[in-house]
Amino acid sequence: MNVQSPPEKLTARDYATDQEVRWCPGCGDYAILKAVQNTLAELQADPKNTVFVSGIGCAARFPYYMETYGFHTIHGRSPAVATGVKLSNPDLDVWVVGGDGDMLSIGGNHTMHAIRRNVDVQLLLFNNQIYGLTKGQYSPTSKIGTKSPSTPLGSIDNPVSAAQFALGVGGTFIARSTDIMQKHLSGVLKRAHGHRGTSFVEIFQNCIVYNDGVFKRFTEKSVQAEMQIHVEHGQPLLFGKDKDKGLILNKDEMRLEAVTLGENGITEADIAVHDETNRSLATMLAQMDPPTMPVALGVLYCEAAPTYEASVHAQIDHARKDGEGDLAKLLHRGQTWTVE
């Protein structure tokens, strides 16, 4: 127990435990851990009110490294456990961490329901498109053709897009970032933390051992500028090293197109402006993939909506407005009779 209590200012290191971190050297999870610890320090989050809940997987080891409350649960069920935590104590600040297998395969159902209920948690999906902990089988986010111990000839089933899934089930906050973009990731995490409701954050994470480089088509330094678009509410959807590329909405075909300013008479006025309250736009952004389109990172969607646990407690408060129930009275409710 090495935590100082406020008002002393907490640093990122105060959010780290004394436990040895056991991810493979070079794993993207280290960078995410650092970004989360930095973010909590920036937010001066109260460690005693912060809870990390996780399922099973490499990613799900996360809580052991956070000097907060932590519950490492069972494979896929962390969104359900976290729902119980929030119902029981809505004041806790709950982060849910898991991998693509944990949250979209075995736990896809719980992820869906936590999101559609809008339980007030930050749900961080570490997407490495592989099952790391079980030694490299393909996952539901793996691209078709992924060779793995269980798919020696390449996987044949369609992958799911995490962000599109979250948008489709009615998510109120959907954002994306990558493990190696510390500043960007930290900005996204802060937005996620500020949002009331389920903040779904897909973090592209490199598994150096079993799926090294799967995201390099947009994370490699040389292609980053051309293959990533960092969306910001109210800002034109521009990208490219010189911000000379952008997205326009083709209204006839209802889709986004990548264009270059100055070509075919395109000016900045033609470029679509990001509106994070527009679910259709967010869905189109989430669909984009290299090489034809850049990957959209940042807050794709954000909408204010009541949280599940607040509504649950509002019903309870309403039921109690005329006073707390009386057990003795309840036992006597309905028809009774007296035996002399």
Partner 1 sequence: MSEVAAIDRPDENRQEIESAVVRFAGDSGDGMQLTGSQFTMTAAISGNDLATFPDFPAEIRAPAGTTFGVSAFQINFGARKIMTSGDQLDVLVVMNPAALITNLEDVKPGGIVIADSGAFTDRNLAKAGYEENPLDNDSLEGYRLVKIDMSRLTVEAVKEFGLSNKEALRSKNMWALGLIYWMYGRKREASVDWLKSKFAKNPEIADANIAALNAGHAFGETAEMPAELGTFEVETADISPGVYRTITGAESVSLGLLAGSQLAGLNISFCSYPITPASALLHHLARMKDFGVITFQAEDEIAAAAAALGASYAGSLGITSSSGPGIALKMEAIGLAIGTELPMVIVNSQRAGPSTGLPTKTEQSDLYQAVFGRNADAPMPVISVSTPSDGYDVAIEAIRIATKYMTPVMVLTDGYITNASEPWLIPDPSTYDRFDVTFRTDPENFQPFMRDDTTLARPWVKPGTPEMMHRIGGIERSYDTGHISYDPANHQKMTDVRAAKVNGIANDIPEQEVAVGAAGGKLAVVGWGSTYGPINRAVANLRDEGLDVSQIHLRYIWPLPRNLGELLHSYDQVLVAEMNTGQLRTLLRSEYLVPAEGLNKVNGKPFLIAELEDAIRARLEN
Ligand X SMILES: Cc1ncc(C[n+]2csc(CCOP(=O)(O)OP(=O)(O)O)c2C)c(N)n1
For partner 1, the binding residues (CB under 8 A) are 1, 3, 5, 17, 19, 47-49, 51, 53, 56, 63-64, 66-74, 77, 80-89, 91-92, 109-110, 112-113, 312, 315-316, 318-320, 322-325, 327-328, 330-332, 334-340
Is the Cβ–Cβ distance between 241 and 227 less than 8 Å?
Answer: no
The contact mask relative to ligand X for 203-222 (x = CB under 6 A, - = no) is: --------------------
Residues 113 and 193: their CA atoms lie apart, in Å, by 20
Determine which residue in the list 102, 120, 276, 309 makes contact with ligand X, applying CB under 6 A.
102
Q: Give, as one character, the DSSP assignment of residue 255.
A: E
Binds 97: which of ligand X, ligand SF4, partner 1, none (CB < 5-8 Å by kind): none
User: Which residues, at least 6 apart from 155, have a Cβ–Cβ distance to it below 8 Å?
Assistant: 138, 142, 143, 144, 145, 146, 147, 148
- What is the CA 48 to chain-centroid distance, rounded? 22
Is the Cβ–Cβ distance between 86 and 92 less than 8 Å?
Answer: yes
Binds 23: which of ligand SF4, ligand X, partner 1, none (CB < 5-8 Å by kind): ligand SF4
* First-to-final CA distance of the chain: 63
Choices 97-105, 179-187, 255-263, 327-335 (CB under 6 A): range interacting with ligand X: 97-105
Tell which residue, 214, 138, 178, 174, has the closest CA to residue 305: 174
User: Which residues, at least 6 apart from 184, have a Cβ–Cβ distance to it below 8 Å?
Assistant: 177, 178, 230, 297, 298
- What is the CA 280 to chain-centroid distance, rounded? 19
Residues 93-122 that bind Mg ion (CB under 5 A): 99-100
Determine which residue in the list 65, 131, 138, 239 makes contact with ligand X, applying CB under 6 A.
131
Binds 208: which of partner 1, ligand SF4, Mg ion, none (CB < 5-8 Å by kind): ligand SF4
Residues 225 and 221: their CA atoms lie apart, in Å, by 8
The contact mask relative to ligand X for 279-318 (x = CB under 6 A, - = no) is: ----------------------------------------
Binds 139: which of ligand X, ligand SF4, partner 1, none (CB < 5-8 Å by kind): ligand X
The contact mask relative to ligand X for 22-61 (x = CB under 6 A, - = no) is: ----------------------------------xxxx--
Amino acid at 93: D
Three-class HEC string of 12-27: HHHHECCCCCCCCCCC
Residue with Cβ nearer ligand SF4 (33 or 112):
33
Exposure b/e, 213-230, CB count within 10 A at least 16 = b: ebbeebbeeeebebbbbb
Positions that interact with ligand X (CB under 6 A): 56-59, 75, 98-102, 126, 128, 130-134, 139
Positions that interact with Mg ion (CB under 5 A): 99-100, 128
